[in-house]
Structure 1
Amino acid sequence: MDKPSFTTPGLDAFCLLDTLNLTVTGQAVDVDHAVLECRTSTEFQDSWCHECGAEGIPRGTAVRRLVHVPLGWRPTILHVRVRRYRCPDCARVWREDLTQVGAPRAKLSRSAVLWALKCLVIDRMSISRIAAGLGAAWHTVNTAILATGQQLLVDDPSRFDGVRVLGVDEHVWRHTPFGSKYVTVIIDLTPIRDKTGPSRLLDIVEGRSKKVFKTWLAAQSQAFRAGVEEIAMDGFAGYKSAATEELPDATPVMDPFHVVALAGSAVERCRQRIQQETLGHRGRSGDPLYGIRRVLLTGANLLTKKQTSRLEAVLAAEEHTQVDVTWWVYQRIVAAYRDPDRTRGRDRLKSVIASLSAGVPTALKELTTLGRTLKRRAADVLAYFDRPGTSNGPTEAINGRLEHLRGTALGFRNLGHYLLRALLDTGGFRPLLHSHLR
């Protein structure tokens, strides 16, 4: 702001009280906190009886204490003087309505809750750190954030509007001594497809199975299901079956990452099998195949001259022929996806699938398994080339952000809390929060 327009200094505006219809009447500043005494603005006094409409008689005041936005790096507390009235006609007694200042029985002002949400969603702070900044208890802050997030985001009836491209994947939300706890995450990939913004988390459902995803789809409105055009997924057959049964008109798209991962897994299993057959033990330092384990999974066009020479020297050995053939198929799949011409890339990958569908020697066990999988999901694999922008990559990105969230919170025990926190963190809440902070 090169030439700002100055106005008369206002403590109410500086302390973010004007939006709450409060005015400061006193202050007490201590080393570790500050207290602001406030009253409601005169024009917003609630002095009329709601029963008979008569004007009430003042009957003194009561003090309501609310945690406010920290000012000057100090936790700030509001002492709001609430006027009490008595109706001379019907003898009804009431207090001023402070709903605009804070929710009923809440311990945080609405400005403090929005400040906490901003710290959580935009600044990626932990609840503990936010509570320390506010000078409030952890449970007080956590309850306020989850309640407001539930109201603004989860209970929003338009949250599922306009979804045309879905992404689905599994996610570990909790590690226990008795095994990991899985959930199914459903992502809205429509903004990625339309190039209008990032993907957003739609929902998290406990479990990972066909039944879980099928039940979730069946619970959605008919308008939502009719609007879904594509579903990006990995190689799990359960998600494919659920999508086919509930959304027969939607096109399943198998993500390139998982197709390449399947081919890379075939290379790894082949290398390990040949390692055992030739040397009789698992890979060790100095073993030829073990030494090129990472080079085998690198794209051929990204290899250095030294890596290429080393790779060729190892694969040239007769006992490593099966690894060489499997690696060559893997490189063909990678090259098909990297082809700048999507039509040509589709034809190249279709050719690879056709070559693996029949005539593969029985000795190449890994390629046989890969060929069966690609043949069964050929339509889903090739659909990627006809629908640019439909990929499960953004779904994996959101999974990564959920991992970061779990680490920041040092783990979760309550799945409901985890769902709310995940939706706040990755559910497209930032634009909505910015609009409330203006």
Structure 2
Amino acid sequence: MPQPTSPPAQIVADTIIRTVELGVRITDAALDGDTTVLWCELLTDGPGVCPGCGLVGVYRDTVERRVTDVPVVGHPLQLRVRVPRYRCVHDGCVREVFAHDSRRLARPGWTTTRRCAAYVLGRLAVDKATVSAVARELGRSWDTVNSIAVTATEQLLLTAGPARLDGVRVIGVDEHKWAHVFGADGDGFVTVITDLTAVVAGHGPARLLDLVAGRSAAAMTTWLNARDQAFRDGVRIVAMDGFGGYKNAATTALPDAVTVMDPFHVVALAGHKLDLCRQRVQQDTLGHRGRTGDPLYRERRTLRTRLGLLTDKQRTRLEAVFAGDQHVAVEVTWWAYQQIIAAYATTDRRRGKTELASVIDRLRGELPAGLAELATLGRTLHRRREDVLAYFDHRASNGPTEAINGRLEALRRNALGFRNLINYRIRSLLHCGALAL
């Protein structure tokens, strides 16, 4: 057993550990393996009051309450707090024995201090640590730390309430694969809904608003209908990919909002058609899939490179590939792909909109035989013409939503996967929801 600390040392220890804010005072300290143990007394201003009848009790004995606090110099810290107990002498009270109020130290029934929850949230949300890493720091189990994080985040969401959605004018929506196991909620997919208002205004990042199980019009419609009318009336722009379900949901639930198909997905769609055309021509001309040394296969990455970024060597190789008549379809599809990129890259919005509209009109018109991929692209862009061209008027891109998707992928990898969608939603909101800690 260690020697009792002297009064000056107690003051120094209390100041360093800041135990006063927990309502306790350090009386002794020792090491228990890797854990620092502090014995403390509960700071009281008199006898305890019975929670049943409200009368002052008579001192009975003292019990020790053990709670985990924030780590000290990288080591787990346990507080062993002496808590007085009292007898209730009121004849009409059902309580016989009660402990002194220690809610300042920790919530009733909890084995961690109040500030421990704030520490867990900070490590997970700000430092992007894993639950396992925080559990090691605290010397507690994964389940305990995860429960703290879920409960504290739910409390943050409850405290923020509907006000968390105030001022949302631009939202982004996209699908996200959260689980890769059979039978997962929503077939392992969720609909990601983000706030892009600050991004479009140019004064802040995107933030995650919510995750909804499934990737369908019903998933998005259900979420929007669950919001109040003031929120739905405030949303002016919805940025999305080419999935028609999200378009239908936005049109139904937000009839006054402008839907925007963002450039990333338009260019990605055109690039996908270019790949399909290259693969088809490869099969038609050589009778097999691309192999090392095949002209088209060798230039597959060069074909997806923006025209202005091509080196002289790459240009020479492309010219050699396009010189063959058998590759005409690839050349025409490639040129349409480059024109779409160039339209988005134009600094003059009006000019860019006119150029992209011309590309859509040409692709929708009569195309020569052998350009099936371009014909399909033309039909898609024509069907979503207003959404595609709306980007030039509002500059709302779903790129920030894709960025949040990437952060969620990193979260899932660091956690070695999730099996519970409720936990995944809570952790995602803590990770990317810009909650006020």
Does TM, normalized by the shorter one, top 0.5?
A: yes
* 2:167 aligned with 1:168: no
Q: Give the partner amino acid of 1:104.
A: P
Deviations 1:84-111 (A, max 9, x none): 2234445654222222221221111112
> Which sits farther off after the overlay, 290-299 or 94-103?
94-103
Name 1:247's counterpart in structure 2. 254
Native 8 Å contact 2:47 2:56 kept in 1: no
* 2:113 counterpart residue number: 109
Q: Secondary structure at the match of 2:419?
A: coil
Unaligned runs of 5+ in 1: 1-7, 434-438
Higher mean alpha-carbon deviation, 13-22 vs 138-147, is at 13-22
- 1:101 aligned partner, one-letter code: L
* Partner amino acid, structure 2, of 1:381: V
Q: Percent identity?
A: 51
Residue among 410, 416, 420 paired with 2:426: 420
Give the secondary structure class of the aligned counterpart of 2:256. Answer: coil
1:87 and 1:177 map into 2 onto residues whose CA distance is 57
1:224 equivalenced with 2:231 (yes/no): yes
TM-score relative to the length of structure 1:
0.92
Partner of 2:152: 148
In structure 2, runs of 5+ residues without a counterpart are 1-9
Distance change in 2, residues 1:46/1:412 (3 Å): farther
Counterpart position of 1:4: none
- Mapped to 1, the partners of 2:47 and 2:246 lie a distance apart of 56
Q: How does 1:120-269 map to 2 (within 5 A)?
A: 120-153=124-157, 156-157=160-161, 158-176=163-181, 181-269=188-276
**1:38 aligned residue (32, 37, 40):** 40
The superposition leaves residues 358-383 of structure 1 with CA deviations (integer Å, 9 ceiling, x where unpaired) of 12224211111111111111111111
Equivalent AA in structure 2 for residue 119 of structure 1:
R
Between 157-166 and 25-34, the greater mean CA deviation after superposition: 25-34
Structure 2 Cα separation of the partners of residues 203 and 46 of structure 1 = 47
Q: Say if 1:107 and 1:140, in contact at 8 Å, map to a contact too.
A: no
Q: Shift of the alpha carbon at 1:335?
A: 0.4
Q: Work out the CA distance in 1 between the residues paired with 2:12 and 2:40.
A: 14
- Local SS of the residue matching 2:128: coil
Query: Residue 123 of structure 2 aligns to which amino acid in structure 1?
Result: C
RMSD: 1.9
**How many Å separate the matches in 2 of 1:423 and 1:153?**
9
- Counterpart in 1 of 2:7? none
Instruction: Select which of 8, 11, 14 maps to 1:12.
Output: 14
Q: What's the TM-score once normalised by structure 2's chain length? A: 0.92
Q: Does 1:272 align with 2:279?
A: yes
377-386 or 192-201, larger mean C-alpha shift: 192-201
Match of residue 336 from structure 2: 329
Map 1:16-27 → 2, pairs under 5 A: 16-27=18-29
Deviations 1:283-328 (A, max 9, x none): 1111111111111110000000000111111112111111111111
Query: Contact between 2:236 and 2:256, CA under 8 Å: does it hold in 1?
Result: yes
Return the alpha-carbon distance in structure 2 between the equivalents of residues 30 and 49 of structure 1. Answer: 35
Aligned to 1:396: 402
Contact 2:70-2:115 within 8 A present in 1 as well: yes
What residue in structure 2 maps to residue 3 of structure 1? none
Distance in structure 1 (CA, Å) of the matches to 2:235 and 2:67: 45
Structure 1 partner of 2:4: none
CA distance in structure 1 between the aligned counterparts of 2:344 and 2:320, rounded to whole angstroms: 27
Q: Once the 2 structures are TM-superposed, how far is the Cα of residue 234 of structure 1 from its aligned partner?
A: 0.1
Alignment correspondent of 2:123: 119
Pair 132,311 (structure 1): closer, same or farther in 2 beyond 3 Å: same
**Helix, strand or coil for the counterpart of 2:179?**
strand
Greater alpha carbon shift after TM alignment, 318-327 vs 151-160? 151-160
Moved more, 379-388 or 96-105: 96-105
